[in-house]
């Protein structure tokens, strides 16, 4: 929220009070608090009035420091609260000059003399901090009260994250409201709002408030990032990296790591689409068509109309269209498919569950006791109250019956249109619960899947989220148009979400609204199959490729088979997601924080550590992208690309810029028709530009391979059946294997546990 009228004045009806000095300091366990009056204390008479702002500093883990700003401490503490990992630590030092708390390499320092200020210091430098008049408690003439903070931004400091946002990746100059909304991908609204940002300056900031948080990023005050909440208190955490990757690792240690996902979830998902007509015969025709065309398919998804109209959700198959659901599911699963069905947290008035939920008190109510209802989306819609444990069990029991029938997972749609004029079972504040609702919703479904299918098999396909929602993957990008512009919006949203702690992400190949033309569909296929998760889905048209043109079939086959072969590599990237909180799809600035050319890049990304992907956003195939330093290699052609520059190329529909980082070892699997196979059996280690001193450990499903170069000797060791492909490298001798021709270099089949390869000298 903007409070000022230019730099010097406040807006009419807005009154701000700012701490000006430290009156006294109190030390607590691994913490300290200061009393900061908003006027200078010149004599005892000045001690008779306020406000006096309390600022408390504590640390929940190394390199993370929390700051709580309080005006009136008597405000009732209302839920919900984010679930955070916390074990207070830190060393406190208080003297006549300052109060300091040090946690790991991060120190917060509040000056005791002179002008008010808070400094965050690490490794001998100031990361950020507050200046006079940055911290504020604010009253308005309409009776509202806010707490505001502003942290300094340097000239070359840039802000990223704040959830899945579809505008520019760099948030400088933007105003961002953390408030979940069903606004599509073409507006400033977002389905997944996260009050966390990271910077390229060595730190991130998490505002620990589950409700509405306003961010003014280098906008209201152009040299500061401002954030504010309504109420008497606000807590935020500064997280020291220093690298963006380390910031994400520590932020997700605080708020939760993404779960590990089953291999089958990384395969191709095919949907009925939204408002299309379909029955078992239609579904079978799609699956038959995919099989006849050698198109690998892992998951089939039934969207809304698996249930009867106006009865969403009753969790019952429409008997007019699906008279034998158990038999149908059995027949589909006999073909090796997993089954997903669409659900949401709303109960239409016509649903038999409406009266059941109303009678038991499982639906959100208005303050007068009436069930909250409206006619948008479903006539007489009501909302399940997930703060009620019995309501959660009731909802989960309906889904459990579907799992027992043969369903494997759920698309958890919606969860953003949550009203604030309601009463929650547990007394949660409706404003604080608006964003948090989606956490409880997806947690309910995900925990049921864990209970029924086991930790290794649980997966949802969710649209809404907030902080902590990364624990319940996967998330997809919501309703986008079928245009190249929307394809770009979607990519920006996914990269922004990845910079907000979410490890996996997907989108509707071809766009949701409208029907893509064949050229757009084929370009989007390449992008979709080189995303962490891949789904064919639309609104009012089917998305099987032969309905576009025959070339679409070939393009889908090529890129789906490519993704299946890349599963040994992708499983390693997924391990980083659930083990470290590093997303599989990464903005270039995350992987190359020291390269200033990567600061604003938003039309390309890294897929894992070593693959650069630049989707083609044009029908004619023209694409321009940036390549960091080094000699990179086109994965599909073996062509070398010298980096440190921008590259312009033209690609056919069967191609996309997919570059391998120099010195990388890319494990390629021997199977291309499914994602869930023994990734280590028959694997080929593709070695690119191996430099002297190279030492790479490649782990595949519990099997380890090492690649070490010392001078002209390259040693590769492993176990089982495996191969090595030296891309664009000359070989003079090989011990422990047999060589054969490959278009990209020399292919060597290992005969034992070690290959010793003598490389040709470079010219």
pLDDT tens-digit series, residues 389-436: 999 999 999 999 999 999 999 999 999 999 999 999 999 999 999 999
Domain CATH code at residue 725: 2.60.40.1180
**Residues 152-157: contacts with CB under 8 Å, at least 24 apart:** 152/128, 152/223, 152/224, 153/128, 153/199, 153/201, 153/218, 153/223, 153/224, 153/225, 154/201, 156/200, 156/596, 157/199, 157/200, 157/201
What would the pLDDT profile of 20-76 be if each residue is shown by its tens digit? 999 999 999 999 999 999 999 888 887 888 899 999 999 999 999 999 999 999 998
Q: Are 298 and 290 in contact (CB under 8 A)?
A: no
DSSP H helical ranges for 412-549:
430-453, 484-498, 518-529
Q: At what angle do helices 484-498 and 518-529 cross, to 10 degrees?
A: 10
Q: Which residue has the tokens 């270039």?
A: 588
Q: How many CB atoms lie within 10 A of CB 244?
A: 26
**Structural domain ending residue among the three candidates 529, 558, 580:** 580
pLDDT of residue 68: 98
Q: Which residues pair with 71 in a beta bridge?
A: none
Domain end position, chosen among 523, 555, 580: 580
Q: What is the CATH number of the domain that holds 131?
A: 2.60.40.1760
Residue 644 main-chain phi, psi, to 5 deg: 75, 25
Assess if residue 153 is contained within a domain. yes
Q: What does 236-250 look like in DSSP terms, one character per residue?
A: EEEEE-SSHHHHHHH
Whether 193 and 321 map to the same domain: the answer is no
Q: Is residue 643 part of a domain?
A: no
Please give the sequence-ordered ranges of beta strands (E in DSSP) within 283-420, or none if there are none.
299-302, 338-343, 346-347, 382-383, 409-412
> Residue 529: inside a domain, yes or no?
yes
Strands 203-207, 233-240: pairing is antiparallel
Angstrom distance (rounded) from CA 734 to CA 732: 7
Tokens of 462: 């969710």
Same domain for 331 and 291?
yes
Confidence at residue 283, expressed as pLDDT on a 0 to 100 scale: 97
User: Can you give the pLDDT at residue 166?
Assistant: 98
Give the pLDDT confidence score for residue 113 in this predicted structure: 85
* 306 and 164 together in one domain: no
Confirm if 472 and 230 have CB atoms less than 8 A apart.
Answer: no
What are the mean pLDDT values of the chain's consecutive 10-residue runs (763 residues total)?
92 96 95 95 84 97 98 93 95 96 98 93 96 96 97 97 98 98 97 98 98 98 97 98 98 98 98 96 97 98 97 97 97 97 98 98 98 96 98 98 98 97 98 98 98 97 98 98 98 98 98 98 98 98 98 98 98 98 98 97 98 98 98 98 98 98 98 98 97 96 96 96 94 96 95 96 68
Query: What is the rounded CA–CA span in Å between residue 89 and residue 91?
Result: 7
CA 610 to chain centre: 19
Residue among 454, 451, 472 at smallest CA distance from 463? 472
Q: Looking at the structure, tell me whether residues 315 and 212 fall in a common domain.
A: no
What is the span of the domain harbouring residue 715? 680-759
Residue 675 lies in a domain: no
pTM: 0.97
Q: Domain total for the chain?
A: 3
Report, as residue numbers or ranges, the catalytic residues.
413, 416, 479
Does residue 617 sit within a domain? no
Same domain, 268 and 168: no
CA separation for the pair 132, 149 (Å, rounded): 11
Contact yes or no for 53/145 (Cβ under 8 A): no
Show the 3-state SS of 681-710: CCEEEEEECCCCCCEEEEEECCEEEEEEEE
Residue 524 CA to residue 684 CA, distance in Å, equals: 28
For residue 295, tell me if it sits in a domain: yes
pLDDT at residue 763, rounded to an integer: 53
271 in the same domain as 234: no
Q: Is residue 738 domain-resident?
A: yes
Q: Which helix (H) or strand (E) holds 280?
A: helix 280-292
Following CA atoms 540, 543, 544, 546 in sequence, which dihedral angle do they give, to the nearest 10 degrees?
A: 90
Distance CA 709, CA 687 (A): 11
Residue 196 and residue 90 share a domain: yes
Supply the DSSP string of 147-181, one letter for each residue: EEEEEE--TT--EEEEES--S-SS-TTEEEEE-B-
In the 8-state DSSP scheme, what is residue 762? P
Parallel, antiparallel, or unpaired for β 31-37 and 9-10? unpaired
What pLDDT sits at residue 42?
85
Choosing from 532, 547, 580, the residue where a domain stops is: 580
DSSP string, 203-218: EEEEE--SS-EEEEES
- Alpha-helical segments (H) within 481-614: 484-498, 518-529, 550-565, 567-580, 588-591
Same domain, 431 and 535: yes
The CATH number given to whatever domain includes residue 532 is: 3.20.20.80
Are residue 152 and residue 291 in the same domain, yes or no? no
Q: Are residues 281 and 186 in the same domain?
A: no
162 and 269, same domain (yes or no): no
Please report, in angstroms and rounded to a whole number, the separation of the first and last CA atoms in the chain.
61
* 565 and 688 belong to one structural domain: no
- Give a yes or no: residue 647 inside a domain: no
Between CA 398 and CA 357 the distance in angstroms is: 12
- The CA distance from 746 to 447, in Å, is 48
How far is Cα 303 from Cα 675, in angstroms, rounded to an integer? 23
């Amino acid at each position: 929220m903007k409070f000022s009228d230019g730099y010097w004045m406040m807006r009419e009806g807005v009154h701000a009070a700012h701490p000006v000095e430290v009156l006294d300091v109190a030390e607590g366990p691994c913490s300290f608090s200061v009393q900061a009056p908003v006027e200078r204390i010149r004599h005892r008479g000045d001690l008779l009035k306020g406000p006096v702002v309390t600022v408390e500093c504590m640390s929940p883990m190394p390199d993370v420091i929390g700051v709580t700003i309080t005006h009136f401490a008597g405000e009732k503490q209302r839920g919900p609260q984010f679930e955070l990992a916390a074990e207070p630590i830190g060393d406190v030092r208080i003297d006549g000059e300052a109060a300091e708390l040090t946690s790991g390499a991060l120190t917060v320092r509040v000056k005791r003399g002179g002008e008010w200020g808070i400094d965050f210091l690490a490794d001998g430098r100031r990361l950020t901090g507050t200046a006079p008049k940055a911290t504020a408690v604010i009253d308005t003439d309409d009776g509202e009260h806010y707490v505001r903070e502003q942290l300094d931004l340097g000239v070359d400091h840039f802000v990223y994250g704040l959830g899945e946002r579809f505008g520019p990746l760099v948030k400088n100059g933007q105003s961002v409201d953390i408030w979940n909304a069903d606004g599509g991908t073409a507006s400033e609204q977002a389905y997944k709002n996260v009050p966390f940002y990271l910077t390229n300056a060595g730190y991130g900031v998490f505002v620990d408030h589950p409700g509405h948080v306003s961010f003014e990023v280098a906008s209201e005050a152009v040299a500061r990032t401002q954030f504010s909440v309504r109420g008497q208190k606000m807590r935020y955490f500064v997280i020291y990296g220093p690298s963006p990757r380390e910031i994400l690792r520590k932020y997700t240690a605080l708020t939760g790591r993404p779960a590990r996902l089953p291999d089958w979830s990384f395969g191709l998902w095919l949907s009925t689409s939204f408002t299309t007509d379909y029955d078992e015969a239609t579904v079978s025709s799609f699956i038959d068509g995919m099989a006849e065309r050698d198109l690998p398919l892992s998951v089939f998804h039934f969207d809304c109309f698996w249930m009867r109209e106006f009865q969403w959700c009753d969790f019952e198959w429409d008997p007019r269209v699906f008279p034998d659901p158990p038999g149908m599911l059995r027949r589909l699963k006999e073909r090796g498919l997993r089954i997903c069905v669409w659900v949401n947290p709303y109960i239409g008035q016509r649903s038999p569950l409406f009266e059941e939920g109303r009678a038991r008190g499982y639906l959100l109510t208005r303050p007068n006791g009436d069930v909250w209802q409206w006619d948008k989306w479903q006539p007489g819609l009501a909302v399940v109250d997930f703060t009620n444990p019995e309501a959660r069990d009731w909802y989960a029991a309906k889904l459990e019956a579907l799992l027992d029938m043969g369903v494997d997972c759920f698309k958890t749609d919606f969860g953003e249109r949550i009203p604030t004029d309601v009463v929650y079972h547990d007394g949660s504040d409706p404003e604080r619960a608006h964003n948090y609702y989606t956490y409880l919703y997806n947690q309910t479904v995900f925990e049921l899947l864990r209970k029924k299918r086991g930790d290794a098999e649980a997966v949802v396909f969710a649209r809404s989220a907030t902080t902590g929602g990364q624990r319940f993957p996967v998330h997809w990008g919501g309703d986008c148009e079928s245009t190249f512009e929307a394809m770009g919006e979607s990519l920006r949203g996914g990269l922004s979400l990845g910079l907000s702690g979410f490890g996996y992400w997907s989108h509707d190949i071809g766009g949701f609204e409208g029907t893509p033309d064949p050229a757009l569909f084929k370009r989007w296929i390449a992008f979709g199959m080189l995303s962490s998760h891949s789904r064919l889905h639309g609104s009012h048209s089917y998305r099987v490729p032969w309905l576009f043109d025959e070339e679409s079939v070939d393009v889908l086959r090529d890129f789906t088979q490519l993704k299946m072969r890349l599963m040994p590599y992708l499983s390693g990237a997924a391990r980083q997601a659930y083990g470290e909180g590093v997303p599989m799809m990464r903005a270039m600035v995350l992987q190359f924080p020291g390269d200033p050319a990567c600061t604003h890049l938003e039309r390309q990304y890294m897929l894992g550590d070593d693959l650069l992907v630049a989707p083609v956003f044009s029908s004619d195939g023209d694409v321009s992208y940036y390549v960091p330093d080094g000699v990179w290699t086109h994965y599909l052609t073996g062509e070398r690309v010298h980096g440190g520059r921008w590259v312009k190329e033209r690609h056919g529909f069967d191609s996309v810029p997919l570059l391998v980082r120099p010195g990388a070892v890319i494990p390629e699997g021997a199977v291309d028709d499914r994602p869930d196979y023994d990734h280590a059996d028959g694997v080929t280690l593709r070695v690119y530009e191996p430099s002297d001193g190279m030492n790479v450990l490649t782990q595949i499903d519990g099997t380890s391979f090492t690649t070490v170069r010392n001078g002209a000797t390259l040693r590769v060791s492993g176990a089982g059946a495996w191969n090595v492909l030296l891309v664009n490298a000359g070989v003079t001798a090989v011990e422990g294997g047999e060589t054969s021709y490959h278009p990209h270099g020399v292919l060597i089949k290992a005969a034992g546990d070690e290959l010793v390869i003598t490389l040709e000298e470079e010219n």
